[in-house]
Structure 1
Amino acid sequence: MLLLIPGPVQTRAEVRAAMAQDIAPWDRDFQAVYARVRERIVGIAHGTPGVHATLPIQGAGHFVTEAALRTFVPPGGKVLIPVNGAYAQRMARLAREAGREVIAIDLPDTRGATAADILPALEADPAIGTVAFVYNETGSGIVNDVEGIGAAVRAAGRRTVLDAVSAFGALPFRLDQHPECDTLVFTSGKCLEGMPGMGFAVARIDRAEACAGHAGSWSLDLSDVLAHARRAGWGSIRFTPPVQAIAAFDVALDLYEAEGGQSARLARYRANADALYEGCAALGLRPYLEKRHQGPVIVTVHQPADPRFDLMTFVEALKRRGVLISNFYNTAAPTLRIGAIGAITPEDIRGAVKAIGATLEEMLPKAA
């Protein structure tokens, strides 16, 4: 089965094989693996040892995103969120339900957010302390301007929380060039091609210390994750983790380095997305985004307008041909949501496009 969703992604056999073991989370051999993973992540983020640290939280991306908002935005504090997709909407909900005051900037889901979008709100309200935003929006496939937004926030003397869940490891970002960034967050099952189960925050140590007591949740307190690591060691974890997923992630990082790191992975994903975008357009499927706004992680195309088309029926029929895509959409208009990331190549994508075409022909036969 070819898994074409924006996470959890298709994985390599070596990564899956690393799951086939029983592990005690407190075992010293595993603790060495866990500590090594944390150190390697800081390196991939271009963080500075002693300035940045990896602070893991078990669970999906929403867990670590909520932990970041709870930790780095004080209770009742104002957080500005540019909302141009489903995952920005979810970030706003997480912040509101954590008791933070959300200032939402509503934008279309067909282009990335820029500094020009957020500056008026920052200038109008000095009480806004943090700008929280999504790097890559897997609702539609757009990419927000992290460099421009970061520079604007830095110049305004505010802080950022970056949801890099579906971007980290492929799209470029250097923490050492973004002192305004309190933390970026991501998960194991996306662009680094590990198994799902762990979220990671790469955070400024001084900010995590300064924000102790903000979270209002022991489970989702990144400051407490840092304090625990300092007490018990960087190979120790507060609560039982998905140990097999962490062991597999260590192997995934080996494969990431062997491929050539961020630039090589981005190049492969971009080639995948281009093949998908152009292949679907050749089938007569209209892309949801203009090519200039199309990111490398997920491609969305409008669903056929034919009344015979049904998304769930199409997904199941395509699955029978060996290709699995999302059976839902979260764009403003109905779309097909097809991932371009994971252990896949442009050749895989071209095969998938053929399967999509054959499935559409079967489902929507032309009149004789």
Structure 2
Amino acid sequence: MLERPAMLLLIPGPVQTRPEVRAAMAQDIAPWDRDFQAVYARIRERIVGVAGGTPGVHATLPLQGAGHFVTEAALRTFVVPGGKVLIPMNGAYATRMARLAREAGREVVPLDLPDTRGATAADIVPVLEADTSIGHVAFVFNETGSGIVNDADGIGRAVRGLGRRMILDAVSAFGVLPFRLDEHPECDVLVFTSGKCLEGMPGMGFAVARMDRAEACAGHAQSWSLDLSDVLANAKRSGWGSIRFTPPVQAIAAFDVALDLYEAEGGQPARYARYRANADALYDGLAAIGLRPYLEKQHQGPVIVTVHQPSDPRFDLMTFVEALKRRGVLISNFYNTSAPTLRIGAIGAITTDDIRRAVAAIGATLDDMLAKAA
């Protein structure tokens, strides 16, 4: 039974967390201590399991920082300097991925798509067939700009069939949307962070990579800090509980507890079912109070729901967000879709009861705000 929080944090990460996870932060830890190194090594093994990886073939390569850090590290490590990478451009985080790749000196081949549907193999294949010099396809599994989901399984099979490689940004999808690395040998690496769907605290990025590919790509990164090949080399040299640079140790300890709770809930199928129910309740509830969904229902993923902002000229996003917060619900105070939207998360330690509470608060806040502005 999840706690009923005083403030509902409805953003796509960092998410609402359980008290057990927060409590694990209340300790002082030395990162080189043997007891902590055992925790760190255990987390790395557990993550390979969640990723559907194969021990001895895949390894967890952690990196301090936000999702952008580990995404850039993946691009730097696995795409050769100057190499071409195809990125389907159907959301704000795809745009950010492209910038990371370009500033790392990689050549981006953009594939422009609308931000209202996910990319599929049918979108990718013609581009790869037309340009055999493209070595990698990199994309965002779940776009938290609009809420769409790109077809990682289908794209991966197409990439493999054409003899290319893949990088998967699963930052807001890992542990919820199904994808198994042991079924996708074309995938060099997937990346995610501690503060999203596994409901840990923010602070750590994780790459789950093929060890043979990471070793083959040594020297590509042109950065010591962002070199995942070096993370692997350090682990093989110094042990899987070793850390190259000082990490957010409390966040790692909390993540171990978050993994316990994830497994106790039932793992990926159960976490997906809860988030899917949350997203459906949010989508339908917001529509029922007169807010128009940004996506058609068939394209709506389980992580974030976006709706068009009210067309009433008296509506102001920042004023609305602050007023809603006073009612105990906190949502994003920005949007990154092509049209003005409200951006509301469906993930974290929340249930459909919390969603119904949030929808009621949103409706009351809108009524209050527009009545006062009249």
TM-score, length-scaled by structure 1: 0.99
Partner of 1:117: 123
* Cα deviation, residue 80, structure 1: 0.3
What amino acid is aligned across from residue 285 of structure 1 in structure 2?
Answer: L
Q: 1:312 aligns with which of 318, 323, 327?
A: 318
Pairwise CA distance, 1:118: 1.0
Matching of residues 274-313 of structure 1 within 5 Å: 274-313=280-319
Q: Tell me, what secondary structure is at the counterpart of 2:371? A: coil
TM superposition shift of 1:339: 0.1
Matches within 5 A, 1:69-80: 69-80=75-86
| Corresponding residue SS for 1:364 | helix
1:188 lines up with 2:199 in the alignment = no
Q: Deviations over 1:85-113 (max 9, x none)?
A: 00000000000000000000010000000
Equivalent residue number for residue 39 of structure 1: 45
Determine whether 1:176 maps to 2:161: no
Residue 106 of structure 1 corresponds to 112
Aligned residue for 1:253?
A: 259
Q: Check whether the contact 2:314–2:373 (CA below 8 A) recurs between aligned residues.
A: no
Counterpart check, 1:342 vs 2:348: yes
Cα deviation 1:174-203 (Å, max 9, x = unaligned) = 000000000000000000000000000000
In the alignment, which residue of structure 1 is the partner of 2:58? 52
2:230 match: 224
Shift, 1:367, TM fit: 10
Letter in 2 for 1:208: A
Q: Which runs of 4+ in 1 moved over 4 A?
A: none
Q: Which residue of 1 aligns with 2:3?
A: none
Which sections of structure 1, spanning at least 5 residues, go unmatched?
none
Provide, for residues 185-231 of structure 1, a one-character-per-residue CA deviation record: whole Å limited to 9, x for no partner. 00000000000000000000000000000000000000000000011
CA distance, structure 2, for counterparts of residue 254 and residue 317 of structure 1: 36
Whole-angstrom distance in 2 between the partners of 1:97 and 1:52: 28
What is the alpha-carbon distance in structure 2 between the residues aligned to residue 358 and residue 37 of structure 1? 43
Q: Distance in 2 between matches of 1:340 and 1:72?
A: 32
The answer to whether the 8 A contact 2:78-2:214 is kept is yes
* CA offsets 1:313-363 (integer angstroms, 9 cap, x no match): 000000000000000000000000000000000000000000000000100
Q: 1:157: which partner in 2?
A: 163
Are 2:250 and 1:244 equivalent residues in the alignment? yes
Q: Secondary structure at the match of 1:141?
A: coil
CA distance 1:367–1:83, shift in 2 (3 Å): closer
1:86 maps onto 2:92 in alignment: yes
Match of 2:101 in 1: 95
1:266 aligned residue: 272
Cα distance in 1 for partners of 2:242, 2:129 equals 43
| Structure 2 Cα separation of the partners of residues 148 and 194 of structure 1 | 29
Q: Verify: 1:68 aligned to 2:74, yes or no.
A: yes
For residue 359 of structure 2, give the secondary structure of its aligned residue in structure 1: helix
RMSD: 0.9
Gaps of 5+ in 2: 1-6
* Inter-partner Cα distance in structure 2 for 1:340 and 1:257: 20
Shift of 1:366: 8.9
Deviation at 1:147, TM superposition (A): 1.1
Amino acid at match of 2:272: L
What is the aligned length?
368
CA distance in 2, matches of 1:266, 1:156: 31
Structure 1 counterpart of 2:247, one-letter code: P
What is the distance in 2 between the residues matched to 1:252 and 1:366?
A: 43
Aligned partner letter, 1:194: G
Tell me how far apart the structure 1 counterparts of residues 89 and 169 of structure 2 sit (CA, whole Å). Answer: 13
CA offsets 1:152-181 (integer angstroms, 9 cap, x no match): 100000000000000000110100000000
Q: Which amino acid aligns with 2:110?
A: A
CA distance in 2, matches of 1:88, 1:258: 33
- Partner SS for 2:302: coil
Does the Cα contact within 8 Å between 2:309 and 2:341 map onto a contact in 1?
Answer: yes
Structure 2 Cα separation of the partners of residues 230 and 218 of structure 1 = 17
CA distance, structure 2, for counterparts of residue 96 and residue 327 of structure 1: 28
Equivalent position SS for 1:122: helix
Give the structure 2 partner of residue 200 of structure 1.
206
Residue 324 of structure 2 corresponds to residue 324 of structure 1: no
